[in-house]
Amino acid sequence: MTRVPSPGVTDRAVCVIGAGLIGGSLLRAAEKAGRTIWGSCASAQTAQQAAADGFDVDTDTDAALRRAADLDALVVLAVPLPALPDLLRRVDRVAPGCRLTDAVSVKVATADAVRRYAPRARYVGGHPMAGTAESGWAAGQAGLFTDAVWVVAADDGLDRQVWADVAELAWACGARVVPAAVDEHDLAVAKISHLPHLFAAVLAAVGAAAGPGPEADALSLALAASSFADGTRVAGTRPELVLAMCEGNRDALLAAVDDALGRLGAMRGALASTGGLAATVRAGYAGRQQFLAAREAQGVRIPRTGTSFAELRDIGRRGHTLLGWT
Amino acid sequence: MTRVPSPGVTDRAVCVIGAGLIGGSLLRAAEKAGRTIWGSCASAQTAQQAAADGFDVDTDTDAALRRAADLDALVVLAVPLPALPDLLRRVDRVAPGCRLTDAVSVKVATADAVRRYAPRARYVGGHPMAGTAESGWAAGQAGLFTDAVWVVAADDGLDRQVWADVAELAWACGARVVPAAVDEHDLAVAKISHLPHLFAAVLAAVGAAAGPGPEADALSLALAASSFADGTRVAGTRPELVLAMCEGNRDALLAAVDDALGRLGAMRGALASTGGLAATVRAGYAGRQQFLAAREAQGVRIPRTGTSFAELRDIGRRGHTLLGWT
């Protein structure tokens, strides 16, 4: 994928609140891209680690937000969903009209929180879809977003200038932008991220359980090979992170769970009656092929101005990713 | 894991019927271990490929079995379950009392077929748990079984000499032996191999489906990252292989599916009512930790004679693997 500098890209300063895996990686990546960056986080220990690595990060969030207001910076909230209400009240008090985005993995609940607690912010939601099994400042890396997908909200009525700020930050970090309506984003991540986490959890529990008690089924675990290892990998994610993500997307997740339960119920019926699993296995094979084919989707470019949000949403619905301005 | 030569190991000749991924890897691994090996397979093209690589493989299965009877070799059936009845009738005709094992992924149905079609064979079932996404002779490799688990049936009444033959072949190929009753094996693989394949299929189908039609949900697939990629990986396995494996283990698989459906139903109820997923996510995290801990299980050694099948089964139930004789 060639990366040529896009015309008209600003060098807007970036203020990152939260210095865990995502916030910490964002600070590193944006600095590497030449942006003026600073941030804050709740943990004194994390702030010390970041400062020791040469980053302008401390625990004074008010000061960080005040500086963002002064410099007309883009503020990125890189905190878990449950931390948003308090943080947004602070934004509304210190930097009420700031350019605002976030890195939270659900977008409807986040947009609702912004409307409620910081209604004057010029907010365009974001979701950089990158991660590792690790978390915290030390796990962060400048290359975390390289070629990752970064969803940028594309609902009607958003601020076009801030939309461009968020897209340009994503590109500066090496990511590809997928524009999406916030509700369509939440339905999609319920299917391709949250449901996989719940399936992994159930698979791990079934595989390890010897019976109703806590004793492990040592024979089964001794026989477990790559299909079990891969299918349960994300069950090793810290439970608090999975819960914050999945519980924040309840309605969309219920739809995905019901789709899955319907398919599993039909499969169970076929297995018990005719013993045949062909419909399930062939549909899964077809889905996997569609997934692999989708990975080959071309990146596209758009003019910096003049593309409507409806057109942007269509780009995302076709599975295309934006690489920059024409 | 240190591998020291075990005392009393025979160099029994090995006749492999079937030269796909497993049979082809077995021929290569056993040859490398210094065994006299030959084989046969149904496909003239596969036989030509094997012969071109210097292996004594053709399509004359009767001749291969006759030679096994003459040399008192261990015969390994490395064919899919549906091919067993015809092949076992042939064994019963040409080499009725031979030392016999197999590499089929279900063990109750295989033992039933042997009892029915080749009742005079000295049969001890086996299941080398190794594989790749690829199949066929060309995908085979001598190192496929290195450190893999190789289940050897350990039900009362089996032939102890043939049991030792099968275990020694597994060790010669670099594998670790797990002794198990055939019904316990089938319940275990239903949980840790067959259910993961079905979950992967359902996950892939849910993720890719835009609606009732065949059109793919391009937005969802564009957002799919490592949790979806890992969770659906084995959905890319050739459907015929998955069907042969899962449909041959129907009763055990139904029990595993029902366990999973029970857990998913409880999860769905909790999500819809309180919105809480903690029980599901924490049980999954615990299961994953138990799986990772099980990987650290120590290998053990036993005397070449004097260990009962009940004691062997207990070794497997404790999650231990056999590395060789003391």
Instruction: For A243-290, give the DSSP string.
Output: HHHHHTTHHHHHHHHHHHHHHHHHHHHHHHHT---HHHHHHHHHHHHH
Residue B116 to residue B121: CA distance in whole angstroms: 11
Identify any residues that bridge with A102 across adjacent strands, giving them in sequence order: A77
Averaged over A123-146, what is the pLDDT? 91
Q: Tell whether the model's pLDDT for residue A213 goes beyond 80.
A: no
Q: What is the pLDDT of residue A2?
A: 40
Q: Is the Cβ pair B277, A198 closer than 8 Å?
A: yes
Q: What is the pLDDT of residue B4?
A: 46
> Which residues in chain A are closer than 8 Å to B267, comparing Cβ atoms?
198, 202, 257
Q: What is the pLDDT of residue B211?
A: 73
Q: What is the pLDDT of residue A211?
A: 73
Burial call A150-184: b when 16+ CB within 10 Å, e when fewer: bbbbbbeebeeebbbbbbbbbbbbbbbbbbbbbeb
Averaged over B269-278, what is the pLDDT? 95
Q: Tell whether the model's pLDDT for residue A4 goes beyond 70.
A: no
Residue numbers of A between 242 and 271 with CB closer than 8 Å to B = 242-243, 246-247, 250, 253-254, 256-261, 263-265, 267-268, 271
Residue B80 to residue A63: CA distance in whole angstroms: 68
Q: What is the pLDDT of residue A249?
A: 95
Q: What is the pLDDT of residue A54?
A: 97
Q: Tell whether the model's pLDDT for residue B8 goes beyond 90.
A: no
Residue numbers of B between 197 and 216 with CB closer than 8 Å to A = 197-209, 216
Averaged over B44-49, what is the pLDDT? 97
Q: From the CA of B204, how many Å to the nearest CA of chain A?
A: 5
Split at pLDDT 50, 70, 90, the class of A157 is very high
> Which residues in chain A are closer than 8 Å to B285, comparing Cβ atoms?
201, 204, 235-239
Q: Is the Cβ pair A228, B196 closer than 8 Å?
A: yes
Residue numbers of B between 41 and 70 with CB closer than 8 Å to A = none
C-alpha distance from residue B278 to each of A193, A324, B263 (Å): 17, 40, 13
Q: Chain A residue closest to B179 (CA)?
A: A219
Q: Tell whether the model's pLDDT for residue B7 goes beyond 70.
A: no
Q: Chain A residue closest to B199 (CA)?
A: A199
Residue pLDDT, tens place only, A236-277: 999 998 998 899 999 999 999 999 999 999 999 999 999 899
Q: Chain B residue closest to A132 (CA)?
A: B226
Which of A92, A59, A54, A58 is CA-nearest to residue A75? A92
Q: From the list A232, A257, A259, which residue is nearest B288 (CB)?
A: A232
Q: Is the Cβ pair A267, B205 closer than 8 Å?
A: no
Q: What is the pLDDT of residue A8?
A: 61
Residue B274 amino acid letter: T
Q: Is the Cβ pair A206, B263 closer than 8 Å?
A: yes
Backbone region of residue A37 per phi and psi (left: phi > 0; alpha: psi in -120 to 50; beta: other values): beta
pTM: 0.89
Residue pLDDT, tens place only, A277-297: 999 999 999 999 999 999 887
ipTM here? 0.92
Burial call A271-295: b when 16+ CB within 10 Å, e when fewer: beeeeebeebbebbbbbbebbeebe
Split at pLDDT 50, 70, 90, the class of B2 is very low
Q: From the CA of A69, how many Å to the nearest CA of chain B?
A: 32
Using CB atoms within 10 Å of the CB of residue A296, give its burial: 0 to 12 exposed, 13 to 18 middle, 19+ buried. exposed
Q: Is the Cβ pair B231, A227 closer than 8 Å?
A: no
Residue B23 to residue A302: CA distance in whole angstroms: 54
Q: Is the Cβ pair B192, A318 closer than 8 Å?
A: no
Q: Tell whether the model's pLDDT for residue A5 goes beyond 80.
A: no
C-alpha distance from residue B34 to each of B9, B13, B14, B28, B100 (Å): 12, 10, 11, 10, 20
Residue A206 to residue A217: CA distance in whole angstroms: 9
Q: Is the Cβ pair B206, A221 closer than 8 Å?
A: no
Q: Tell whether the model's pLDDT for residue B310 goes beyond 90.
A: yes
Q: From the list A193, A235, A254, which residue is nearest B285 (CB)?
A: A235
Q: Is the Cβ pair B222, A278 closer than 8 Å?
A: no
Averaged over B216-238, what is the pLDDT? 94
Give the E-state strand segments of chain A in sequence order: 14-17, 37-40, 57-58, 74-77, 99-102, 122-123, 126-129, 149-153, 176-180, 299-302, 321-325
Averaged over A122-146, what is the pLDDT? 91
Q: What is the pLDDT of residue B63?
A: 98
> Which residues in chain A are closer than 8 Å to B201, comparing Cβ atoms?
280-281, 283-285, 287
Q: Is the Cβ pair B278, A202 closer than 8 Å?
A: no
Residue numbers of A between 144 and 203 with CB closer than 8 Å to B = 148-149, 151, 178, 180, 184-185, 187-189, 191-193, 195-203
Residue B106 to residue B95: CA distance in whole angstroms: 23
> Which residues in chain B are closer than 8 Å to A240, comparing Cβ atoms?
none
Torsion of CA B90, B94, B96, B100, to 10 degrees: -70
Mean pLDDT over each residue of chain A, to the nearest integer? 94
Q: Is the Cβ pair A234, B227 closer than 8 Å?
A: yes
Q: Indicate the helix (H) or strand (E) that contains A27.
A: helix A21-32
Residue A160 to residue A182: CA distance in whole angstroms: 16
Q: Is the Cβ pair A290, B223 closer than 8 Å?
A: no
Residue A318 amino acid letter: R
Residue B70 burial (CB count, 10 A): 10
Q: Specify whether the CB–CB gap between A163 and A195 falls below 8 A.
A: no
Q: What is the pLDDT of residue A297?
A: 79
Q: Is the Cβ pair B242, A281 closer than 8 Å?
A: yes
Q: In terms of DSSP bridges, do strands A126-129 and A149-153 run parallel, antiparallel, or are they unpaired? A: antiparallel
Share of chain B above pLDDT 90, in %: 88
Q: From the list A257, A276, A291, which residue is nearest B271 (CB)?
A: A257
For the ranges B1-10, B162-171, B208-217, B253-262, the lowest mean pLDDT is seen at: B1-10
Tokens of A203: 């698979």
C-alpha distance from residue A140 to each of A74, A133, A236 (Å): 20, 11, 18
Q: In terms of DSSP bridges, do strands B14-17 and B37-40 run parallel, antiparallel, or are they unpaired? A: parallel
Residue B172 to residue B325: CA distance in whole angstroms: 12
Residue B162 amino acid letter: V
Q: Is the Cβ pair B280, A233 closer than 8 Å?
A: no
Contacts of B309 (CB under 8 A, 6+ apart): B154, B155, B156, B157, B158, B179
Q: From the CA of B322, how many Å to the nearest CA of chain A?
A: 12
Q: Specify whether the CB–CB gap between A39 and A19 falls below 8 A.
A: yes
Residue A235 to residue A200: CA distance in whole angstroms: 5
Q: Is the Cβ pair B191, A217 closer than 8 Å?
A: yes
Q: Is the Cβ pair A192, B297 closer than 8 Å?
A: no
Q: From the list A204, A268, A316, which residue is nearest B288 (CB)?
A: A204
Q: What is the pLDDT of residue A10?
A: 76
